[in-house]
Amino acid sequence: MEKNIDKTSYDALVIGAGIAGGEAALNLANTGYKVLLVDKELSVGGKMIMLSKVFPTLDCSACITTPKVSEISRHSNITIFTGAQASNIRKIGEKEFTARINKQPRYVHIEDCTSCQLCEEACPVSVSDQYQYGLIGRKAAFIPFSICSPKAAAIDIENCTLCGACERACPTNCIDFTMEPEIIDIKVKTVVLATGFKLFDPLDIPRYGYGKFKNVITAMQMEREIAPTRPFNTILRPKDGKVPDKIAYVLCVGSRDASVGNPICSQICCMYSIKQAQLLMGALPMADVTIYYINIRSFGKGFEEFYQQAKGMGVNFVKGKIGRITEKENGNLILRYEDINSGKLQEEEHDMVILSTGVLPNEGISELFEGDTLGLDKFNFIGQSDALAGPSRTSIDGVFVAGTASGPMDIPDSILSAGSASSEAISYLIQHS
């Protein structure tokens, strides 16, 4: 196996190491191209590695993501930078791009870390854990999550008090506070953008009480509660640790809603909510689960059958948009809604509410480019210059888009889109060699 000796020159730069970026990188690497894969997070795997199970197969998400992650991590043609961001991407002539990689220091030498977690134990600082979506805390010296890759500690320098406890506790002396940000200027021949999406922040809809009422959580937080790497080892509501028995899902939170600036449908929320409802019915056999919806969009392969299965299991589907959520003293929540079937305004009490938040574009992607302009569509996703006959082509020849960076999509569609982007990138490399 030949190692990439020149660290500044690659065939392809893939930005984003979620499932789309990972798939695109693997396709390129498997056909013999040298790939630099960068991700701003501390681990590869994107959002998929954080999920519980996937619809409609109910495969364990971690179990099907980790082999991909492992394959990506070990591929001799793939170099990975985590905690790194690309910028200043500029097309030079017809065959080359230059780019700058800004690599943030992890303050841990990855190759020496055995992920023994002694630094975590020693660290006196506790902050909210972003990888558990704020459900629990973590230390400032921490392993991002149990199946992260690379599996190594990191120091959250923003919150670190520089007390040195972790350094003293570390048996391999892998913690190093002298690490500096690195700037690496690279040359590549093609660029694949797999920058993914961000979830709608429900604080922007105050009438749902998120952030104020503790038992109103997001679906991503519920994903964490039911994932194999879950924080509590059971399902509970945050306010008092009670196991919920009457759970509500509110669909289209931040989607199909022009009032929050996002008129489009997020394409995945109906299905992930139905999946969670099924998993909750399995985990909490006595619990009632109600899904409040506008339209159920179970359009993909096996989805309609999955929806019917949820109905058969006893998940309660109510057609109606939630107007407002209020909290009772005991932490229960009153949902006020227009019940379309009866045509009346109704109120219903639940002890936990899950907001199925929508998919939004990540910001600042076009600012990564210099010279040529990377076009966006009217929803600020990366624009597709030939949406029907070449969906992964962008406004810049040689720059391709994979996965949800171009719009909402589920996992198989992301894989197809990544296949499409890597196909175009391989063709581009062959045609421009």
Partner 1 sequence: MKKKKIGVYICHCGGNISDYVDVEKVRAAIADEGIVLLSKTTMFACSDSNQRDMVEDIKANDLDGVVVASCSPKLHLQTFQNVSMRADLNKYTYVHANIREQASWAHSDDKMGATEKAIHLVRAAIAKSRYAEALESTKVKAIKKVAVIGAGIAGLKAALSLSEKDCDVILIERNSVVGGHVAEFTSLSTTTETGYQIITRLYSEVLKRGNISLLTNSEVIENKGSVGNFSLKIRKITNNDNQEIIDVNVGSVLMATGFDSYTPGEGEYGYKSLENVITLVDFKKMIDSQNGKLVYNGKQIRDIVYIYCVGSRQSDGGNTYCSRNCCTSTIHASIIARHKFSDINNYHFNRGIRTYGKQEILYAESLGSGDIYLQFNEDSIPEISVNGDKAIVKINDILSANREVEVEADLVVLVGGMVPRADNSVGSLFKLPKGRDRFYNEVHMKLRPVETAIDGITIAGACQGPKNITESVNSALAAATKSYSILSKGELETSPLIAVIEEDKCSWCGACQEACPFDAIHMEEKEGRTIAQINNTVCKGCGMCAPVCKPDAINLIAYSSSEIMSMIDALA
If the CB atoms of residues 83 and 391 are measured against partner 1, the closer one turns out to be 391
Does residue 398 interact with partner 1 by CB under 8 A? Answer: no
Does 32 interact with partner 1 (rule: CB under 8 A)? Answer: yes
Of 151, 187, 242, 336, the one binding partner 1 by CB under 8 A: 151
Per CB under 8 A, 391 contacts partner 1: yes
CA atoms of 47 and 401, how far apart (whole Å): 18
Task: Answer yes or no whether residue 176 interacts with partner 1 by CB under 8 A.
Answer: no
Give the Cα separation of 184 and 376 in Å (integer). 27
CA geometry: angle 314, 315, 317, nearest 5 deg: 125
Q: Which is nearer to partner 1, 159 or 423 (CB)?
A: 423
Closer CB to partner 1, residue 5 or residue 388? 388
Query: Per rule CB under 8 A, is residue 88 in the interface with partner 1?
Result: no
Contact 289, 376 (CB under 8 A): no
Q: How far apart are CA 193 and CA 361, in angstroms?
A: 13
Site for partner 1 (CB under 8 A): which residue of 160, 166, 175, 296?
A: 296
Residue 106 or 256: the one with the smaller Cβ distance to partner 1 is 256
Least Å from the CB of residue 277 to partner 1: 17
Q: Write down the least CB distance from residue 321 to partner 1, Å.
A: 12
Site size with partner 1, rule: CB under 8 A: 84
* Closer residue to partner 1 in complex, CB, 8/114: 114
27 binds partner 1 (CB under 8 A): yes
Residue with tokens 């391989």: 426
Query: Rule CB under 8 A: which of 215-244 touch partner 1?
Result: 227-230, 233
Which one of residues 78, 277, 365, 415 is an interface residue with partner 1 (CB under 8 A)?
415
Q: Which stretch binds partner 1 (CB under 8 A): 168-176, 180-188, 194-202, 418-426?
A: 418-426
Question: Closest approach of Cβ 151 to partner 1, in Å?
Answer: 4
92 binds partner 1 (CB under 8 A): no
Least CB distance to partner 1 at residue 225 (A): 13
The only residue of 173, 178, 259, 342 in contact with partner 1, by rule CB under 8 A: 342
Which pairing describes strands 137-139 and 126-128: parallel, antiparallel, or unpaired?
A: antiparallel
Selected from 2, 3, 286, 389, the binder of partner 1 by CB under 8 A is 389
Please choose, from the candidates 243, 247, 310, the residue with its C-alpha nearest in 3D space to the C-alpha of residue 275: 310
Among 104, 149, 276, 290, binds partner 1 (CB under 8 A): 149
Interaction of residue 30 with partner 1, rule CB under 8 A: yes
Q: Which is nearer to partner 1, 87 or 117 (CB)?
A: 117
Q: Name which position in 118, 122, 169, 264 contacts partner 1 (CB under 8 A).
A: 264
Helix axes 219-226, 269-283, angle to 10 degrees: 40
**225 by DSSP, 3-state: which?**
helix
CB 356 within 8 A of CB 219: yes
Count of beta carbons in the 10 Å neighbourhood of residue 211: 11
Told to check if 375 binds partner 1 by CB under 8 A, we report: no
> Is residue 380 close enough to count as binding partner 1 by CB under 8 A?
no
Cα torsion 79, 83, 89, 92: sign: negative
> Among 31, 88, 117, 380, which residue interacts with partner 1 (rule: CB under 8 A)?
31
**Residue 274: which residues within 8 A CB-CB, separation 6 or more?**
55, 291, 296, 298, 306, 307, 310, 315
Which of 353, 373, 354 has the alpha carbon at shortest distance from 365? 373
Q: In terms of C-beta density within 10 A (0-12 exposed, 13-18 middle, 19 or more buried), how is residue 327 classed?
A: middle
Q: How far is the CB of 157 from partner 1 (least distance, A)?
A: 24
Cα–Cα distances (Å) from 359 to 56, 128, 258, in that order, read 19, 23, 14
Q: Which residues of 134-167 are buried (b: 16+ CB within 10 A; e: fewer)?
A: bbeebbbbbbbbebbbbbbbbbbeeebeeeebbb
Element at 334 (helix H, strand E):
strand 333-339
Q: Which stretch binds partner 1 (CB under 8 A): 19-27, 97-105, 240-248, 327-335?
A: 19-27
